[in-house]
C-alpha cells in the first residue's frame, strides 16, 4: 500500500501542485520550523519513499526502509498544513509503530539473510497497540458523527450522494433524503460497533467482510483517497496469529526454525503509553480549550479523527493598506498560492491568519510600508447552508493573535 500510495501521489501530480507551485506553505502549530528543501529535494524524497516501500514490502534492510519512509512521509505532510487528511496522519502513526517493533523477524528478506533474528513470538501488547489505534480511529469518528447535521440532516453525505446519482444500479436512490439519512446512520453505527464485532471470535469473519464491503463502497462513492484501503488492511490485526500463519503458509511461507521471543524494551511501553494519552487528548481538546462550533471554526478539528463531516466552500478577499498614505490594494490570492491552497485556506481561520500575516511581510517589503494593515472578508457555506461571514473584517491580522487559544476574531456561527 505504501508503494501504491507513492505512485498514486505522483500520478495525481502532487509533486507539482502541492510542493513546487506554491511560494508559501501553511504551518501546523509547533511545526513552523519545517521548511521547504527545494524542488530537487522533493524529487529525491519521493525516490526514497518508493524504494523504502519496496524494502518494507520485502522486509529487506527493513529498519532503514521503515524509518526512511516514516520521516519522508511525515515531512511531506508537515510541510504544508493544507495537505492534512486523516489517513495521512494514520499512516505516519502506523509507520512509527512498525519502526519501533520487530516486524521483519519472519517471512522477510532480512530473516533469510540473518537467520539469527528469526522468531515466532512477540509480546501480546505489541499487537494490542495496533488494535487500540484502530479502535481510537473508529470510536472518535463515531462520536464526531453524533451531531444534528449528520444524524438528522444527513449532511454532508446528502450533498455527495446527489453528486453520485450516476452510480450503477443504486445511483437513482441517492436523490431521496431518506437514503442519505439511512446511510448516515449506517456509517455512525458501523464506526461505533465494528471494533466490538472484530474483537469477538464468533463475529470476526463477518465483521471483517463488512469492513471490506463498507470501505469498498465508500471508496467507490466518495473521493477519500487511500483511507478505505488503509482501514481494510489495518483491521487484519484483529485476526488470531494462527489465521495469519495459515494464509502465509498457503502463500508458500515457512516458519522460522529459531523460536525466540522478542526482548521487550521497557522504554517502548512508556513511549506508547504517552502516545495513547495524546491520542485521547487531541480528539477531546476542543471541549477544554474552545467554546464554539468546531465544524465552523475548526479549532481543535485536525488530529481528532473527525472523518467525512464537512463540506465547506469559501471565498476570501484580502485588503492591504498603508496607514501613512492613501495607498491600498486588493490581493490576488493566486499570486501567492496554488488553487488547492486557496480553496483550503479560505475555509480555515488559522490558515487565513497565516496568509494575512505573510501578505503583511510581502507588501511591507514590496511597497516600503512600515506597518501595513491587512484585513479580510471571508464568507463560508457549510454543509449546504447559505454562506456566512467567518471572520471580523475590521481586524488587522498583522497584529492578530495566532496562539492555540480561542480566536476572538472568528465570528460565531448563526444557526438557520
State how far the Cα of 210 lies from the Cα of 38, in Å rounded to an integer.
44
349: confidence class by pLDDT, cuts 50, 70, 90 = very high
State how far the Cα of 416 lies from the Cα of 406, in Å rounded to an integer.
24
pLDDT above 80: residue 386: yes
**β pairing state of 328-330 and 373-382:** unpaired
Give the 3-state DSSP-derived string for the chain, with helices as H, strands as E and coil as C.
CHHHHHHHHHHCCHHHHHHHCCCCCCCCCCCCCCCCCCHHHHHHHHHHHHHHHHHHHHCCCHHHHHHHHHHHHHHHHHCCHHHCCHHHHHHHHHHHHHHHCCCCCCCCHHHHHCHHHCCCECCHHHHHHHHHHHHHHHHHHHHHCCCHHHHCCCCCHHHHHHCCCCCCCCHHHHHCHHHHHHHHHHHHHHHHHHHHHHHCCCCHHHHHHHHHHHHHHHHHHCCCCCHHHHHHHHHHHHCCHHHHHHHHHHCCCCCCCCCCECCCCHHHHHHHHHHHHHHHHHHHHHHHHCCCCHHHHCCCCCCCCCCCCCCEEEEEEEEEECCCCCCEEECCHHHCCCHHHHHHHCCCHHHHHHHHHHHHHHHHHHHCCCCCEEEEEEEEEECCCCCEECECCCCCCCCCCCCCCCCCCECCCCCC
pLDDT above 90: residue 376: yes
Least-confidence region, from 168-182, 252-266, 277-291: 252-266
State how far the Cα of 100 lies from the Cα of 83, in Å rounded to an integer.
26
pLDDT value, residue 192: 97
244: confidence class by pLDDT, cuts 50, 70, 90 = confident
CB 226 within 8 A of CB 77: no
pLDDT value, residue 255: 53
115: confidence class by pLDDT, cuts 50, 70, 90 = confident
pLDDT above 70: residue 401: yes
C-alpha cell at 181: 439519512
Angle of CA points 6, 4, 305, to nearest 5°: 80
Per-residue pLDDT averaged across 95-124, rounded? 85
pLDDT value, residue 1: 65
pLDDT value, residue 253: 62
> Which percentage of the chain shows pLDDT scores above 90?
74
- For 177, half-sphere exposure in the C-beta direction (CA atoms, 13 angstrom radius) is 5
pLDDT above 80: residue 405: no
pLDDT value, residue 109: 87
Residues 6+ apart with CB under 8 A from 397: 352, 353, 356, 357, 360, 374, 375, 376, 409
pLDDT above 80: residue 257: no
Q: What is the number of other CB atoms lying within 10 angstroms of the CB of residue 79? A: 23
pLDDT above 80: residue 280: yes
CB 103 within 8 A of CB 57: no
Average pLDDT over the chain, rounded to an integer: 91
CB 46 within 8 A of CB 10: yes
**Displacement of CA 95 from its chain's centroid (Å):** 14
CB 330 within 8 A of CB 359: no
138: confidence class by pLDDT, cuts 50, 70, 90 = very high
Angle of CA points 204, 205, 206, to nearest 5°: 95
pLDDT value, residue 144: 96
pLDDT value, residue 236: 94
pLDDT above 70: residue 252: no
Per-residue pLDDT averaged across 3-17, rounded? 83
pLDDT above 60: residue 121: yes
pLDDT above 90: residue 13: no
pTM: 0.92
C-alpha cell at 116: 539469527
pLDDT in tens, 293-345: 999 999 999 999 999 999 999 999 999 999 999 899 999 999 999 999 999 99
Per-residue pLDDT averaged across 144-171, rounded? 94
Nearest to 215 by CA among 196, 234, 240: 234
Question: For helices 62-78 and 86-100, what crossing angle results, to 10°?
Answer: 150
State how far the Cα of 167 lies from the Cα of 62, in Å rounded to an integer.
42
223: confidence class by pLDDT, cuts 50, 70, 90 = confident
295, 303, 338, 352 from 334: Cα distances, Å? 26, 28, 6, 14
C-alpha dihedral over 162, 165, 169, 172, to 10 degrees?
Answer: 70
pLDDT above 90: residue 254: no
> Which percentage of the chain shows pLDDT scores above 70?
95
Nearest to 197 by CA among 187, 207, 210, 185: 207
Amino acid at each position: 500500500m505504501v508503494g501504491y500510495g507513492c505512485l498514486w501521489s505522483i500520478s495525481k501530480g502532487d509533486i507539482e501542485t502541492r510542493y513546487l507551485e506554491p511560494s508559501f506553505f501553511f504551518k501546523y502549530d509547533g511545526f513552523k520550523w519545517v521548511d521547504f528543501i527545494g524542488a530537487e529535494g522533493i524529487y529525491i524524497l519521493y525516490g526514497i519513499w518508493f524504494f523504502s516501500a519496496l524494502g518494507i514490502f520485502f522486509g529487506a534492510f527493513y529498519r532503514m526502509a521503515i524509518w526512511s519512509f516514516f520521516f519522508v512521509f511525515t515531512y511531506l505532510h508537515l510541510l504544508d498544513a493544507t495537505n492534512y487528511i486523516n489517513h495521512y496522519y494514520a499512516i505516519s502513526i502506523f509507520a512509527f509503530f512498525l519502526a519501533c517493533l520487530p516486524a521483519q523477524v519472519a517471512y522477510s528478506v532480512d530473516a533469510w539473510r540473518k537467520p539469527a533474528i528469526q522468531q515466532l513470538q512477540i509480546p501480546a501488547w505489541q499487537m494490542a497497540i495496533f488494535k487500540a489505534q484502530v479502535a481510537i480511529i473508529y470510536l472518535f469518528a463515531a462520536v464526531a458523527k453524533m451531531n444534528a447535521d449528520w444524524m438528522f440532516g444527513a449532511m454532508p453525505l446528502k450533498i455527495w450522494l446527489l453528486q453520485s446519482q450516476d452510480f450503477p444500479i443504486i445511483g437513482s436512490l441517492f436523490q431521496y433524503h431518506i437514503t442519505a439519512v439511512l446511510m448516515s446512520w449506517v456509517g455512525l453505527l458501523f464506526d461505533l460497533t465494528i471494533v466490538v464485532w472484530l474483537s469477538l471470535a464468533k463475529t470476526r469473519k463477518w465483521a471483517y467482510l463488512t469492513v471490506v464491503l463498507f470501505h469498498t463502497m465508500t471508496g467507490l462513492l466518495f473521493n477519500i483517497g487511500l483511507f478505505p484501503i488503509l482501514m481494510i488492511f489495518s483491521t487484519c490485526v484483529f485476526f488470531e496469529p494462527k489465521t495469519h500463519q495459515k494464509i502465509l503458509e498457503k502463500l508458500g511461507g515457512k516458519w522460522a526454525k529459531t523460536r525466540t521471543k522478542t526482548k521487550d524494551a521497557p522504554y517502548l511501553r512508556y513511549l506508547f503509553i504517552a502516545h495513547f494519552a495524546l491520542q485521547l487528548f487531541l480528539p477531546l481538546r476542543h471541549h477544554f480549550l474552545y467554546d464554539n462550533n468546531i465544524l465552523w471554526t475548526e479549532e481543535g478539528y485536525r488530529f481528532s479523527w473527525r472523518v467525512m463531516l464537512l463540506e465547506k466552500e469559501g471565498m476570501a478577499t484580502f485588503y492591504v493598506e498603508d496607514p501613512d498614505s492613501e495607498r491600498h490594494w486588493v490581493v490576488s490570492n493566486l499570486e501567492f498560492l496554488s488553487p488547492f491552497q486557496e480553496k483550503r485556506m479560505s475555509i480555515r481561520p488559522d490558515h487565513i491568519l497565516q496568509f494575512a500575516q505573510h501578505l503583511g511581510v510581502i507588501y511591507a517589503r514590496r511597497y516600503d510600508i512600515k506597518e501595513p494593515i491587512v484585513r479580510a472578508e471571508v464568507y463560508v457555506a457549510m454543509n449546504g447552508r447559505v454562506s456566512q461571514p467567518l471572520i471580523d473584517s475590521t481586524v488587522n491580522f498583522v497584529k492578530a493573535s495566532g496562539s492555540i487559544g480561542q480566536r476572538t476574531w472568528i465570528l460565531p456561527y448563526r444557526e438557520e
